[in-house]
Amino acid sequence: MKKVVLSLLVLSLVCSLNAQTKEKKVFVPNFYLGLYGGLSAFVGEGNALFSTPNTFSYKNNVRWGGALALGYDLTPVFGIRGEVGYAQNKWKNLNKINQVDKFGFGSLTADLMFNLSNLFVGYNPDRYLDIQVFAGGGVGNIGYIASSKDDRVTPIVRAGVQGVCHLNRNLDLNLELATNAVSDRYNDLKVNCFFDDVSSLMLGLVYHFKGAVEEPPTPMPLPEPVVVAEKPLDTDGDGIIDSEDKCPTVPGVAKYQGCPVPDTDGDGIDDDRDKCPTVPGVARYQGCPIPDTDGDGVNDEEDKCPTVAGPKENHGCPVVKEDVVKKINLTAKNIFFVTGKSELKPVSKTQLMEIVKIMNEDKNIKLSINGYTDNVGNPDNNQKLSEERANAVKDFLTTKGIAAERMKAQGFGATNPVASNATAAGRQQNRRVELIPAYAF
């Protein structure tokens, strides 16, 4: 026991001396290969420490052993390991006085590895010493050196503990204490249970196959403080500093040296968008006044005859000449139809040629044609007849070359009588077509 404690002290000293070369690292699952060598002791066949008689001693029971291990660390806590080992052992043969028998012990085992330091304290890549325990099993061969006839294959159940000193990122120095429970049938004792024990205390050098770890980037140095120059004054906030702003208290644009876009004619539309910047206008005409196409002083939006000049009191339309009105009224009084029908009598067509002449002489004049009847008969029929007679006049004039859009035909039935319907003479006057000339409907 004193030797085990001394060995652990030596391992701690080596780890401490190596502290200056430790690297920063993170856990990386890895394979490792280890080579172990040290002492091997056989306990059994009456040599047990607490048996009677007790013949256990360094001289009688301890020789040497070694092992080659291949393992894999899955996590900071858990790993697996396979090991091939060989040891030469000796024991005091109680059946033969003062005879110490020697035998070889070969083993092939697999272990589950548990890192207690990482389990209970947490993974710390800066720690230099870890404690691990392991348990496993396998198969072994016990060969009696004096006679090969006593060779036996035995199952193995094993457990142990080891201190792991991390020399650097890849290399560990391990001190391992292991016990292997075996069974044998030496000297015809016919013991077929795990009664004997082969224990070992070995020092191992273990190399971990770890790839390079990318070190965290070195923090960038803090930038030098930037001295921000005092911002020039811009009172009106238009982006033009006061020293260059001709209107420093009124927001403006660079084009006009910080002043607003001018509105020369004061119509609320700035000169950049005003097509008539010196004459007040309206937005729908891009800052220009409402046009007056015929120049009669009545703008086109109020002028019922925007292309023909006329007085304002007649809504911008010319006044039809009095003699023209008289001729048209006279013609209207001589328009006759077949009784009860909308067919023009021949004499009416002759009279209507005068209307054709007037409208050809003045291409701007328009004509409203209004048809009326007396109150005799069904009102609906009278309405229909008045419309048909007005359209008959319009159709005749159209056939003579007068554009249809210059005329408007309407029927009013028995409404608006000009005489009493109580007499035949009055009813005759009410059956009429009125022709009203104008320059706009």
Which of 7-21, 82-96, 136-150 shows the lowest per-residue confidence on average (mean pLDDT)? 7-21
Name the band, by pLDDT with cuts 50, 70 and 90, for residue 161.
Answer: very high
Q: CA 439, CA 203: separation in Å to the nearest integer?
A: 126
Helix (H/G/I), strand (E/B), else coil: 60 = helix
Q: Are 113 and 74 in contact (CB under 8 A)?
A: no
pLDDT at 4 (0 to 100): 47
Question: Between the CA of residue 49 and those of 5, 46, 61, 176, 292, what are the distances in Å?
Answer: 19, 9, 11, 20, 132
DSSP H or E run through 107: strand 99-115
Q: Are 88 and 65 in contact (CB under 8 A)?
A: yes
Stretch 249-261: mean pLDDT: 90
Q: CA 181, CA 439: separation in Å to the nearest integer?
A: 131
Which of 25-29, 162-166, 433-437 shows the lowest per-residue confidence on average (mean pLDDT)? 25-29
pLDDT at 426 (0 to 100): 93
What pTM was computed for the model? 0.44
What does the block give as tokens for 168? 């650097």
pLDDT at 21 over 80: no
CATH of span 322-438: 3.30.1330.60
What does the block give as tokens for 403? 């554009």
pLDDT at 287 over 60: yes
pLDDT at 206 (0 to 100): 94
Helix (H/G/I), strand (E/B), else coil: 391 = helix
Q: CA 394, CA 123: separation in Å to the nearest integer?
A: 109
pLDDT at 109 (0 to 100): 94
Higher pLDDT, 131 or 4: 131
Q: CA 370, CA 368: separation in Å to the nearest integer?
A: 6
pLDDT at 186 (0 to 100): 45
pLDDT at 55 (0 to 100): 54
Percent of the chain at pLDDT > 90 equals: 56
Higher pLDDT, 124 or 373: 373
Domain locations in the chain as residue ranges: 27-209, 322-438
DSSP H or E run through 9: helix 2-17
CATH of span 27-209: 2.40.160.20
Q: CA 250, CA 259: separation in Å to the nearest integer?
A: 7
Which of 96-100, 177-181, 249-253, 287-291 shows the lowest per-residue confidence on average (mean pLDDT)? 96-100
Q: CA 371, CA 368: separation in Å to the nearest integer?
A: 10
Stretch 139-144: mean pLDDT: 80
pLDDT at 368 over 70: yes
Nearest alpha carbon to residue 88 among 42, 123, 146, 57: 42
What does the block give as tokens for 149? 């006839």
pLDDT at 103 (0 to 100): 73
pLDDT at 188 over 60: no
Beta strand 196-209 with 30-43 is antiparallel
| DSSP result, 225-287 | PP-PPPPPP-TT-SSS-GGG-SSTTS--BGGGTTBPPP-TT-SSS-TTT-SSTTS--BGGGTT
Q: Are 367 and 356 in contact (CB under 8 A)?
A: no
| Torsion sign, CA atoms 270, 276, 278, 280 | negative
Percent of the chain at pLDDT > 70 equals: 82
pLDDT at 228 (0 to 100): 77
**Tens-digit pLDDT profile for residues 73-132:** 999 999 999 999 998 877 665 555 455 567 788 899 999 999 998 899 888 878 889 999
What does the block give as tokens for 370? 């209004």
pLDDT at 93 (0 to 100): 55
Longest dimension (CA), the chain: 177
**Tens-digit pLDDT profile for residues 375-422:** 999 999 999 999 999 999 999 999 999 999 999 999 999 999 999 999
Name the band, by pLDDT with cuts 50, 70 and 90, for residue 327.
Answer: very high
Phi, psi of 21, deg, nearest 5: -105, 5
Mean pLDDT of the chain: 84
**Tens-digit pLDDT profile for residues 31-72:** 999 999 999 887 765 444 444 444 556 666 778 899 999 999
Q: Are 181 and 194 in contact (CB under 8 A)?
A: yes
- In the 3-class helix/strand/coil scheme, how is 408-425 assigned residue by residue? EEEECCCCCCCCCCCCHH
**Tens-digit pLDDT profile for residues 166-181:** 898 889 999 999 998 8
